[in-house]
Structure formats: C-alpha cells, structure tokens
Amino acid sequence: MTWQLDGYRNGIPDPNIAYGSGIDSCFTASQGAAGRRGVAVRVEIGPQGIPEMKFPEPFNVAEHLVDRHVEEGRGGKIALRTLEREVTYADLRDGVNRYGNVLRELGLVRGDRLVMVMNDCPEFFFLFWGAVKAGVIPVPLNVLFRSGDFETILRDAAPACVVYATEFSGEVETALRGLEVKPNIVLALDGDGGMNALARYASGELKAAETRESDDCYCLYSSGTTGRPKGVLHSHNDVAVCCQFYSVEVLGARESDVFFSVARLFFSYGVGVALTAPLWVGGTAVLDERRPTPQTVLEIFRRCTPSVFAAVPTFYAKFLASSALRREDVPRLRRCITAAEPMPPELHRRWLEATGVPVLEGIGSTEAGHVYISNRMDDMRPGTLGRPVPGYQVRIVDEAGNDVEGETPGRLLVKGPSVLKRYWNDPERTAKALRDGWFDSGDTFTRDAEGRYVFCGRGDDMLKVSGRWVSPFEIESALAEHSKILEAAVVGRPDENGLVKAEAWVVLRNSAEASPQAGEEIRAFCKAKLAPYKAPAWVYFVEQLPKTATGKIQRYKLRGALRGKGKIA
C-alpha cells in the first residue's frame, strides 16, 4: 500500500510542503494492497472557501486508524503505552481484529449497539475499534455512573451486547436486573469465558464492514450538565474530520507525538485526544486505568514523557496546587490543551510559568465531536477561546435567531462536518437542537473586535444585574487571581427585593481560612478588579464544587440543592 502525504497551507493541499512539517498539514491517500479496496482521502475547498474532506465508498475509519500503519511499515512502533505494557501497531491490529471477530461470532450484526464499561486500557482500543471495523456501534459509558445511571442509558440505548470490567459488575448487574428488555449478550471483560478469553481463540484477520463515511460509527452519552444524558451519534466521517481539522491543523499533532489525556476515553474530549488523534498521525497514546490525581499524572509525565497533554482547567489548578510539578518533569511537553470549562487567564499564566508551555484553550462538545473553536500557538489570547477551527462556521444570535452585532452577547450556533447526525432515539430533541444544519450550543458568547470568541456561560448562566448582562466567567476569572482561592463558581441569586446579584461559591486552598472576614476580603478584591455591580453580593465556602465527570461545574446544583450547605461569609 502506498500513501501520498501532502502539506496543507491556508486550507489548500500543497505537495511542496512535507506532511507534519508545520502546524497545518493534511493528506491524500491511496492504497492498492491485494484484496483491499482502494482508499483515497483528500481535502478540498468547498464553494464558500471552507475546507471539506472527501472520502471514497466504502470507507471504514478503523482501517485508516489501525490497518494502514502496519501496511506503511509502522507495525513495530508503539501505539499504546501503559506503566506496565507496550502495544505495537501490529499488536493493535491483531487485537482489533480478534475482538471484532468475537462480536461477529456472538451474532452481532451491522448497526447493533455495544455498551462498554471499562477503564482506559489497551482492551478498550481493541473492543472499540474492533466494533467499528465489524460495523457494530460502540457506546462507551462513564465508569463513575451508578446503577440508576446505567439503567437509564441501557434502557435508552437498547444494546445487543454489554461488555464490562468485573470491577464494575455490582453497578452494571444491578442496572441490568432493572431492565424490562435485556441485552442478548452480557459479557465480563476478564475472567473465564469473558471477552478477553474469547479473543485469544479468535482469528487475527477481519474483513472490514463496507461502511460509508456518513454511516453511524460510535455513540457517546453527553455528560449532562443540565439534566439527563443524551445519546449522541457520530459517523465515520466525524472521526476523520476532528483529527484532521483540529488535531493536525490547529494542534499540530505529528507522528512523533506521545499523547496523554486526563479526560477518559468514554468522554468526547478523551476520544479526540487519546482514542483517535494518536492513531490518525501514527503517534503513541499513554493510558492509565487509575483515577487521575496530580500524583498519578506526575508519574506518567516522569515515566512516559508525553509531548501532548490534555486536561480540564480544574485539573490544571489542582496540579499546580500540589506544588510537585517542575520543568524537568516535562522534558518533551510541547502542546497543552484545555476545554470543557473556561480557563482563567491567571491559571494560564501560572501553568506557563511552571512548565514553559502555554495552554491552547478551545471549546468543543459531545455534539460537535471535538473542539470547534480554539486558540492557536501563533494566535493566542488567554481569556478568549480563539477562532473557529478550519471547516467550521459559527454565529452569535439573539433570542429571535438574528445575528448580533459588535460585542453583544448571544447564543452560539455552530455548523461543521462533525456535528452530530442525531440524538439516539430522540427526534424531538434532535429537531430542537439542529436548525438548517446549525447546532444550538446553548452557550452564550461574545466576539471581540479582533474576531476572537469569548465564552460567557451557558444560556441560563448569564446574569442580568442592574439592567446589564454579566458573565459568571468574568467574575470567576477575577476570583481565580486571589491567592487564597483554588477555584470558584458564580451563579445568580435574587436579593430581598427580588433583584438578581452574583453569588460566589469558593473552594479555598486552605479550608481552615473560611470566615466572614475572608468573605469580606474576597468581595473587596473583586470590587477593586471589576465594576462594583459585578462583585459577588454573597460568598459561600465549600470543600468542593459539584461537577460532571468531565470537570464541568453543575451550576444548576449551586442554584438549588446546595444552597445553605456552605459557610456564609
């Protein structure tokens, strides 16, 4: 098989630029191996000057991410690394084929759904990509769920098969008992008769399902910052688009990179950074089954020397607060990424001071597949999320759906080649979220005079104080600059006259310092940095903020259930 790899400049393929030689790159590819159909993937410029990816038929993305590396001579290269194991690209293809064959032998057919409950490990890759190659739709679930969460999603997803690691058997099996209609096949990952045991006796050769780029590829359930999780379906096309347009052209990912993501593989953030991008460029993914802490991640840095690191702002703050990180711990680090929640500029400054590597902040979503607005290494302004990723369009609209002018806040709409096809089993919610190809993000944004986008909060997070719109993130950024504060969240609360004021929930570096005097100090600090009406009228001290498993603050809980549980300053 031969592949033509070309550079990418200003949205146009350029064969005079070496692939991976700069931040912008793309590829065209063709293969002629015996028994394999030809594959050609290319980037073209669409009628509006927007880059588009073109695929052949059939196109199964698992072949591109797994098989081609062996055929290009990378079979001996390390694809996956843990603290105990190394998996080459040849090993990866063998595992993918064996697990895919087991699914077929169990009777799963194209379009069936496979629920996966397991930590980050090589077997996750084998099962996920084995399913995709076999035409089965993997549905990885959050391992932190409890039986009630699992039961709700299993009832909605109606999978033909469930595979789970035995450490999660209690919650998963309890959920299964509550179902009226149970999956045909339920397998433990490990143990006698489990998926791993069956795979040892399966064939290491697997003919890929003849899918098209628009066919269903995988399904993720959103993290549910505002309520019940939703099943988000993505296609084979979406994987390629996110890898090329963000990971290669914005992030500058290349074959020599070693990727490590604090966000787990069952989140869209982890999918984009660790499950797909390394395999797209032929790099290496580092996996750790342990729940991430500053200590475990520091061990990964020292032993596996990742060059690309991804985390949410909360984790960056905890990492810095541990005071254990030194520049000599990150000798190969060249790209850091954050998403999910805005990163206060002060936190960015402290990370840059500690490591010498800036953080590329962007925004993405489960529905968009990955990041669709981002800063660039050569165009970065902390406090903003940068500009749209190539291939994506964004608009800021008012309540009537009209584009807003200047720096007026409005709701962000996004259109792009990886935006979800539909919510699984929920046409009503799909119709509400997608309008003429535009996805309503539910987020409030402004656009500065230079065209950079600034996150203000979820649509229901914005505060109307003294007749003026106030972004909770603006207040949170000011709070983050206070030396005693580890993290903070801001919501609105009516005062005794029914007028909305800002209410701050604060986690201190030293919880013993919580006091009415500390609250007054924090309010005075904010008044010195912000317009007086933006300063919080109340400060609550808590041990931790309520968050989703991806690190997003659940402000709706602060507005309701937690009120009164903190110490009032």
pLDDT in tens, 444-475: 899 998 999 998 877 667 776 766 668 888 89
Confidence of residue 550 (pLDDT cuts 50, 70, 90): low
pLDDT, one tens digit per residue, over 311-369 is: 988 889 889 988 678 899 999 999 999 987 778 888 899 999 999 999 999 999 999 99
Q: Answer whether CATH 2.40.70.10 is correct for domain 463-568.
A: no
Is residue 195 within 8 A of residue 118, CB to CB? The reply is no
Is residue 481 within 8 A of residue 532, CB to CB? The reply is no
Evaluate if residue 26 carries a pLDDT over 60: no
Any idea what DSSP says for residue 443? Answer: E
Sign of the Cα torsion 532, 533, 535, 538 reads: positive
pLDDT, one tens digit per residue, over 99-139 is: 999 999 999 999 999 999 999 999 999 999 999 999 999 99
- Amino acid 9: pLDDT: 38
> Greatest CA separation found in the chain?
77
Is residue 202 within 8 A of residue 102, CB to CB? The reply is yes
- What's the whole-model pTM score? 0.81
For strands 161-164 and 284-286, give the pairing. unpaired
The overall average pLDDT reported for the chain is 87
Instruction: Please count the other Cβ atoms lying within 10 Å of the Cβ belonging to residue 196.
Output: 21
Of the CA atoms within 13 Å of residue 369, those in its CB half-sphere come to: 31
Evaluate if residue 37 carries a pLDDT over 90: no
**DSSP alpha helices (H): ranges in 365-498?**
427-433, 472-480
CA dist 227 to 224, 433, 553, 554, Å? Answer: 5, 15, 13, 10
Kindly report whether the peptide bond that precedes residue 13 is cis, defined as omega within 30 degrees of 0: no
For strands 42-45 and 231-235, give the pairing. unpaired
**CA atoms of 139 and 114, how far apart (whole Å):** 6
Query: Can you give the residue ranges of every domain in the chain?
Result: 59-234, 258-458, 463-568
∠ CA 160-161-167, nearest 5°, is 155
Q: Which overall architecture, per CATH, does domain 59-234 show?
A: 3-Layer(aba) Sandwich (3.40)
Sign of the Cα torsion 59, 60, 61, 66 reads: negative
pLDDT, one tens digit per residue, over 414-440 is: 999 999 989 999 999 899 889 888 999
Q: In terms of Cα–Cα distance, which of 114, 35, 44, 104 is closest to 67?
A: 35
Superfamily designation of domain 258-458: ANL, N-terminal domain (3.40.50.12780)
Better pLDDT: 16 or 478: 478
- Amino acid 21: pLDDT: 33
- Residues of the chain with pLDDT > 90: what percent? 65
Better pLDDT: 115 or 548: 115
Tell me if 59-234 shares its fold with 463-568.
no
Which tokens go with 333? 């680090």
pLDDT, one tens digit per residue, over 241-294 is: 999 999 999 999 999 999 999 999 999 999 999 999 999 999 999 999 999 999
Evaluate if residue 373 carries a pLDDT over 50: yes
Confidence of residue 562 (pLDDT cuts 50, 70, 90): low
Q: In terms of Cα–Cα distance, which of 448, 447, 462, 469 is closest to 397?
A: 447
- Amino acid 70: pLDDT: 96
User: Rounded mean pLDDT of 306-310?
Assistant: 98
